[in-house]
């Protein structure tokens, strides 16, 4: 079915859903923005009815191919952006992406000497070294995603002004890059876990879910911050400070047991604190304060999970609402 102007006989202003639908090709047939796709079909503009997946045919495979076709361009772009970011990041450095491993190790060594040997904070917790490193690595994903997410749109301003493509790809690409170094860091963690002969339990199966929550949390901040930074360049300074404060407000370098328990409960509402404590619990040691211990029920996790979902939803909505103006403002 083709959109003709007869289709929108009513006066069409900027607020008209039809207008935005036709102009913003990403929201309707994503096809239209896949210029190089193999199955070049003759001019077709998809109406919303085409988008509602035709479930009568009842074929899941059909749905999958539709989805794949719809996000084909995004996926191609995402891969290209991540690949070139990766190449650029470690260019002209001799050790290359080994740095992704060495950096957390170096930081770990410093913190270990300061907090374990000098200040003797973590004596109550077995394997405090791994415990510390794991926290740092998880926090590192959050810090890297958001730090490089803030200026991501503005850095790609040239692209935004010259090509029409789904804007979220830029922010997601930054997240994927951070996820890659997170993966490398996790290799170090797994290595230490193996060396320390820590007992592996079925609890480990929680890790993918925790990772999902972590990614959702990181990405939602990235969406908010990158979109805000386009208009308010103060965002980068503000975020520096917030991140610094967040580092200390999260039980990363200190065990939660050092904090007054009422305050510890409050800190755990922070999704990233909940994630770090849970991850340590399932992988490193049971002697760590998770929400189950602090509140006496595992269901207390509903709060940080809800916060994460709410953040993700609102950030996506906010980003979508702002994205048409990125080309002009970035």
Nearer to another protein, 161 or 286 (CB): 161
Of 43, 52, 205, 262, the residue at the interface with another protein (CB under 8 A) is 43
Structure tokens at 146: 């958001």
Whole-angstrom Cα distance, residue 63 to residue 60? 5
Of 9, 10, 36, 94, the residue at the interface with another protein (CB under 8 A) is 36
- Name the DSSP class of 304: H
Of 17, 44, 114, 200, the residue at the interface with another protein (CB under 8 A) is 44
- Name the DSSP class of 206: H
Contact residues for 81 (Cβ-Cβ < 8 A; gap 6+): 169, 170, 173
Residue carrying the six token digits 């060594």: 109
Nearer to another protein, 132 or 160 (CB): 160
Nearer to another protein, 7 or 286 (CB): 7
Q: Which range of residues in 115-123, 163-171, 195-203, 205-213 is near another protein by CB under 8 A? A: 163-171
Residue 233 binds another protein, judged by CB under 8 A: yes
Nearer to another protein, 126 or 324 (CB): 324
Candidates 130, 250, 251, 103; CA nearest to 185 is 103
Q: Considering the complex, what minimum distance in angstroms separates the CB of residue 179 from another protein?
A: 19
Q: Considering the complex, what minimum distance in angstroms separates the CB of residue 167 from another protein?
A: 11
Q: Considering the complex, what minimum distance in angstroms separates the CB of residue 314 from another protein?
A: 20
Candidates 251, 253, 275; CA nearest to 261 is 251
Q: Considering the complex, what minimum distance in angstroms separates the CB of residue 159 from another protein?
A: 5
Nearer to another protein, 158 or 260 (CB): 158
Residue 157 binds another protein, judged by CB under 8 A: no
State residue 37 phi and psi, 5-degree precision.
-55, 155
Residue 68 binds another protein, judged by CB under 8 A: no
Q: Considering the complex, what minimum distance in angstroms separates the CB of residue 226 from another protein?
A: 15
CB 28 within 8 A of CB 21: yes
Whole-angstrom Cα distance, residue 312 to residue 278? 21
Candidates 179, 189, 211, 174; CA nearest to 101 is 189
Structural Rg of the chain based on CA atoms = 23
Q: Is 9 exposed, middle or buried (0-12, 13-18, 19+ CB in 10 A)?
A: exposed
Quick note: the x/- pattern for another protein over 90-109, rule CB under 8 A, is -x------------------
Nearer to another protein, 61 or 87 (CB): 87
Structure tokens at 117: 């040997």
Contact residues for 8 (Cβ-Cβ < 8 A; gap 6+): 16, 18, 19
Q: Considering the complex, what minimum distance in angstroms separates the CB of residue 162 from another protein?
A: 4
Nearer to another protein, 34 or 100 (CB): 34
Whole-angstrom Cα distance, residue 104 to residue 91? 20
Q: Considering the complex, what minimum distance in angstroms separates the CB of residue 177 from another protein?
A: 15
Nearer to another protein, 20 or 287 (CB): 20
Residues of this chain that interact with another protein (CB under 8 A) are 2-5, 8, 12-14, 16, 18-20, 22-25, 31-38, 40-45, 72-73, 76-77, 79-81, 83-84, 87-88, 91, 158-165, 231-234, 324-325, 327-329
């Amino acid at each position: 079915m083709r959109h003709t102007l007869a289709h929108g006989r009513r006066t069409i202003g900027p607020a008209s859903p039809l207008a935005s639908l036709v102009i913003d090709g990403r929201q309707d047939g994503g096809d239209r923005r896949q210029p190089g796709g193999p199955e070049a079909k003759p001019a077709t503009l998809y109406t919303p009815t085409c988008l509602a997946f035709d479930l009568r045919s009842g074929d899941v495979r059909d749905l999958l191919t539709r989805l794949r076709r719809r996000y084909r361009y995004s996926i191609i772009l995402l891969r290209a952006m991540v690949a070139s970011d990766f190449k650029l990041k470690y260019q002209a450095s001799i050790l290359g992406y080994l740095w992704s491993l060495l950096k957390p190790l170096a930081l770990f060594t410093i913190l270990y000497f300061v907090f374990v040997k000098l200040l003797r904070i973590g004596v109550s917790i077995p394997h405090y070294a791994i415990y510390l490193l794991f926290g740092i690595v998880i926090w590192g994903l959050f810090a890297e995603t958001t730090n490089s997410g803030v200026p991501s749109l503005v850095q790609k301003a040239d692209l935004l002004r010259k090509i029409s493509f789904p804007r979220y790809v830029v922010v997601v690409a930054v997240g994927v890059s951070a996820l890659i170094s997170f993966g490398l860091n996790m290799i170090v963690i797994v290595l230490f876990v193996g060396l320390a002969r820590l007992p592996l339990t079925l609890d480990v199966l929680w890790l993918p879910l925790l990772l999902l929550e972590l990614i959702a949390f990181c990405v939602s901040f990235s969406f908010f911050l990158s979109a805000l930074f386009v208009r308010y360049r103060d965002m980068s300074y503000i975020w520096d400070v917030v991140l610094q404060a967040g580092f200390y407000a999260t039980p990363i370098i200190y065990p939660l047991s050092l904090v007054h328990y009422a305050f510890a409960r409050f800190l755990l509402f922070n999704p990233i604190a909940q994630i770090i404590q849970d991850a340590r619990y399932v992988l490193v040691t049971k002697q760590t304060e998770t929400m189950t211990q602090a509140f006496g029920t595992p269901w207390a996790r509903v709060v940080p999970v809800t916060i994460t979902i709410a953040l993700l939803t609102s950030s996506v909505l906010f980003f979508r609402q702002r994205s048409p103006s990125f080309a002009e403002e970035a």
